[in-house]
Structure 1
């Protein structure tokens, strides 16, 4: 299922967007990560599974299974369950604060975007992955709006594999993907290269940091908080090969079909014994208990391509692609 959003291609609409990825405003249609975040917040705020189940209009057993699954996914205990109710652990408190921030931005974004719905407009469907660099889309969307005011952009939050499949099925007009598509039916251009650093517990980072940052092999013994291979197989295999070549044990694999949003990454790293990869301009606020540090030698570079059907002849699509100027690593 796609995470659907409609963004009016008007400069004022673009400026009003709090962040680039905006789900539709219905709880049941949100991606699984947002459903988990909303459910977790409800459980902590209500102090009981039964109260949260009533608030979310779901069964208590289903909600309990969802919380158990979230804890298994992160590998940490988020809730302490007792006869008088439930309360958050330290890791759970970290996730609670981050989840509230994400949900607040989500609600603000939906309110801003829904003001710009219009009839009789041309639709351009744009696929977007997680963790795009700040400002990557605002300028190109503003340029598109000025040149083609009748075009509105529908942003679809999708993994790389899902975007490529949707492009070939004529369910997407252009996508931002983590690997170059193979085959003559799709064209692609490199738009972003990011030198990824590492997120660590602050005390661990202090011990491992040296001149120029942290050596990748110094992370041996820590688990990688990664993403499912099915979402971007080539990019996943590239990271795995680099990590293993530096003597790192990957730890448990991420559950298939579930990309890890920022609050989930932060909660997993906060618990200790793990690290996550993130770019230097990561837009999510980092708790004081965590530290971002560059990797010595920049061994991991994340690339993002714009991809579209080779047979496409849309001028507004061409304008948007041309406006996505290449941004190299800083």
Structure 2
């Protein structure tokens, strides 16, 4: 059996279906189905019962689930333990970053790294928080910028960015709703929130939607898939006048004349970004890179 086959099987059982598991693993559903089918052929037993409601393990699948979880946990533990002995001559640093990261956040740390450790090459991976956490736990990332702080003692983390979010609206809708100091969140009632899928950052999604609901907004069900909410999608949806999206004041995407950004009265929404890394890391280049970030974050209004 291969690790990827076990990871696929565990994801399907834990997510209760193929589509959710495919989003979690960042692969297509047909590829996931083929992987599990190959595992069943290899073992000569049926592992899953699939129906319209999802997928559940057979008796053989339940037995494999316990063994697979133990094997994957042991693999991840071994990778993390060996990563602690990597030195500066490893040649590269794997950095995870989310969408909509402020453009100047990495400038000082990367300049320092280039000067102090010119032999270290930075490999940037654009991943959602959920994908980054999976990569951190498996040892596939050395440093991550996350929308939520990782739990457990395996990682150290510090808050490096705090952004007060405002709202993107069509120019006409902003004119209707604006007050002297911005727009009240509750006044967005009746508009559709252009939101991201919960699986991309569960804790941040829950925090954000809790605030929206407390201000009387009906946000509807979570986005149906794990596709990234790119800037072009936000702008196109907002331009119709029937939707709103959230963004910081220094959002890097250029807005057309039909869409405007407005502050929210009272600044009720704050997006935080955490820097996280393995607690047992001994790399001097990683430590110096981390030290060049601001501690406890800074407001980016």
Task: With the length of structure 1 as denominator, give the TM-score of the two structures.
Answer: 0.63
1:308 counterpart residue number: 277
How much has 1:244 moved relative to structure 2? 0.3
* 8 Å CA contact retained: 1:242, 1:300: yes
Q: Which secondary structure does the structure 1 equivalent of 2:212 belong to?
A: helix
2:259 counterpart residue number: 290
After superposition, residues 1-330 of structure 1 pair within 5 angstroms as: 122-326=91-295, 327-329=297-299, 330=301
User: Deviation digits for residues 164-222 of structure 1, max 9, x if unmatched?
Assistant: 11111010000000001100001101000000000000000011000210000000001
Runs of 4 or more off by more than 4 Å in structure 1? none
Answer with 137-146 or 301-310: which moved more: 137-146
User: Deviation digits for residues 89-148 of structure 1, max 9, x if unmatched?
Assistant: xxxxxxxxxxxxxxxxxxxxxxxxxxxxxxx87110000000011211122101111111
Q: Which secondary structure does the structure 2 equivalent of 1:196 belong to?
A: strand
Task: Write the distance in 2 (CA, Å) between the matches of 1:240 and 1:280.
Answer: 20
Task: Write the distance in 2 (CA, Å) between the matches of 1:328 and 1:139.
Answer: 15
Task: Write the distance in 1 (CA, Å) between the matches of 2:222 and 2:194.
Answer: 8
Q: Which secondary structure does the structure 2 equivalent of 1:199 belong to?
A: strand
Answer with 200-209 or 248-257: which moved more: 248-257
Task: Write the distance in 2 (CA, Å) between the matches of 1:149 and 1:289.
Answer: 45
Answer with 247-256 or 266-275: which moved more: 247-256
Task: Write the distance in 2 (CA, Å) between the matches of 1:154 and 1:226.
Answer: 29
Q: RMSD of the alignment, in Å?
A: 1.5
How much has 1:251 moved relative to structure 2? 3.4
Bigger Rg over Cα: 2
1:105 counterpart residue number: none
Task: Write the distance in 1 (CA, Å) between the matches of 2:195 and 2:140.
Answer: 28
* 8 Å CA contact retained: 1:223, 1:252: no
Task: Write the distance in 2 (CA, Å) between the matches of 1:280 and 1:139.
Answer: 21
How much has 1:254 moved relative to structure 2? 1.8
Number of residues of Structure 1 aligned to a counterpart in Structure 2: 213
- 5+ residue gaps, structure 2: 1-25, 28-88
* 8 Å CA contact retained: 1:129, 1:176: yes
* 8 Å CA contact retained: 1:134, 1:281: no
* 8 Å CA contact retained: 1:265, 1:276: yes
User: Deviation digits for residues 279-317 of structure 1, max 9, x if unmatched?
Assistant: 000010011001100000000000000001111111111
Task: Write the distance in 2 (CA, Å) between the matches of 1:170 and 1:134.
Answer: 26
